[in-house]
Amino acid sequence: APVTPDASRSVQLAVIPGDGIGPEVTAEALKVLEATPTGVKFEPTRYDLGAERYLATGEVLPDTVLEEVRAHDAILLGAVGGKPGDPNLPPGLLERGLLLRLRFELDHYVNLRPSRIFPGAASPLADPGEVDFVVVREGTEGPYTGNGGALRVGTPAEVATEVSVNTAFGVERVVRDAFARAQKRRRKLTLVHKTNVLVHAGAVWWRLVQEVAPEFPDVTVDYMHVDATMIHLVTNPSRFDVLVTDNLFGDIVTDLAAAITGGIGLAASGNVNPDRTTPSMFEPVHGSAPDIAGQGTADPVAAILSGALLLEHLGLDDAAAAVERAVVEELAARTPGAPVVTAEVGDSVAARVAG
Amino acid sequence: APVTPDASRSVQLAVIPGDGIGPEVTAEALKVLEATPTGVKFEPTRYDLGAERYLATGEVLPDTVLEEVRAHDAILLGAVGGKPGDPNLPPGLLERGLLLRLRFELDHYVNLRPSRIFPGAASPLADPGEVDFVVVREGTEGPYTGNGGALRVGTPAEVATEVSVNTAFGVERVVRDAFARAQKRRRKLTLVHKTNVLVHAGAVWWRLVQEVAPEFPDVTVDYMHVDATMIHLVTNPSRFDVLVTDNLFGDIVTDLAAAITGGIGLAASGNVNPDRTTPSMFEPVHGSAPDIAGQGTADPVAAILSGALLLEHLGLDDAAAAVERAVVEELAARTPGAPVVTAEVGDSVAARVAG
Ligand SMILES: CC(C)[C@H](C(=O)O)[C@@H](O)C(=O)O
Ligand SMILES: CC(C)[C@H](C(=O)O)[C@@H](O)C(=O)O
- The CATH number that applies at residue B215 is 3.40.50
Q: Binding site residues of B, as ranges? A: 103, 113, 137, 227, 251, 255, 287-299
Check whether A294 is labelled as a binding-site residue. Answer: yes
Whether B161 maps to a domain, the answer reads: no
Question: Which of A5-9, A48-52, B66-70 is predicted with the least confidence, judged by mean pLDDT?
Answer: A5-9
Pick the atom of ligand 2 nearest to B251's CA. Answer: 11
* Pairing state between β A110-116 and A132-138: antiparallel
pLDDT at A8: 61
Residue A5 has pLDDT above 80, yes or no: no
pLDDT at B2: 47
Asked if A228 and B259 come within 8 Å (Cβ–Cβ), the reply is: no
Residue A247: CATH number of its domain: 3.40.718.10
Whether B16 maps to a domain, the answer reads: yes
Residue B7 has pLDDT above 90, yes or no: no
Q: Are residues B134 and B225 in the same domain?
A: yes
Q: Are residues B175 and B92 in the same domain?
A: no
Q: Could you tell me which residues come within 8 angstroms of residue B260 by beta carbon, excluding any fewer than 6 positions away?
A: A234, B115, B123, B124, B125, B128, B131, B233, B234, B237
Beta bridge partners of B42: B11
Other CB atoms within a 10 A radius of the CB of residue B194 amount to: 25
Q: Are residues B247 and B289 in the same domain?
A: no
pLDDT at A121: 85
pLDDT at A4: 58
Q: Report the chain A residue with the minimal C-alpha distance to residue B141.
A: A161
The percent of residues above 90 in pLDDT, for chain B, comes to 92
Rounded to the nearest angstrom, the distance between the alpha carbon of B252 and the centre of ligand 2 is 9
Residue B8 has pLDDT above 90, yes or no: no
Q: Are residues B252 and B184 in the same domain?
A: yes
Whether B201 maps to a domain, the answer reads: yes
Out of B261, B282, B316, pick the residue that ends a domain. B261
pTM of the model: 0.96
Q: Are residues B106 and B2 in the same domain?
A: yes
* Rounded-to-integer distance, Cα B157 and Cα B148, Å: 17
Question: Which whole number is the average pLDDT over A84-92?
Answer: 89
Q: Could you tell me which residues come within 8 angstroms of residue B136 by beta carbon, excluding any fewer than 6 positions away?
A: B110, B111, B112, B174, B177, B178, B181, B242, B243, B244, B245, B250
What pLDDT digit, counting tens, does each position of A227-248 carry?
Answer: 999 999 999 999 999 999 999 9
Asked if A124 and B234 come within 8 Å (Cβ–Cβ), the reply is: yes
Residue B138 has pLDDT above 50, yes or no: yes
Out of B261, B293, B323, pick the residue that ends a domain. B261
Beta bridge partners of B77: B16
Q: Are residues B215 and B242 in the same domain?
A: yes
Better pLDDT: A207 or B2: A207
Q: Are residues B291 and B323 in the same domain?
A: yes
Q: Are residues B252 and B300 in the same domain?
A: no
* Rounded-to-integer distance, Cα B58 and Cα A67, Å: 58
Whether B159 maps to a domain, the answer reads: no
- Which residues constitute the domain of residue B298? 1-114+268-355
Whether B317 maps to a domain, the answer reads: yes
Phi and psi of A244, rounded to 5°? Answer: -125, 135
Domain count, chain A: 1
Whether A3 maps to a domain, the answer reads: no
Q: Is A144 a catalytic residue?
A: yes
Whether B46 maps to a domain, the answer reads: yes
Instruction: Exactly one of A109, A144, A241, A246 is catalytic; name it.
Output: A144
User: Considering every ligand atom, which ligand is closest to the CA of A252?
Assistant: 1
Out of B215, B244, B261, pick the residue that ends a domain. B261
Q: Are residues B320 and B240 in the same domain?
A: no
Pick the closest to residue B299 from B272, B330, B257 (CA basis): B330
Whether B240 maps to a domain, the answer reads: yes
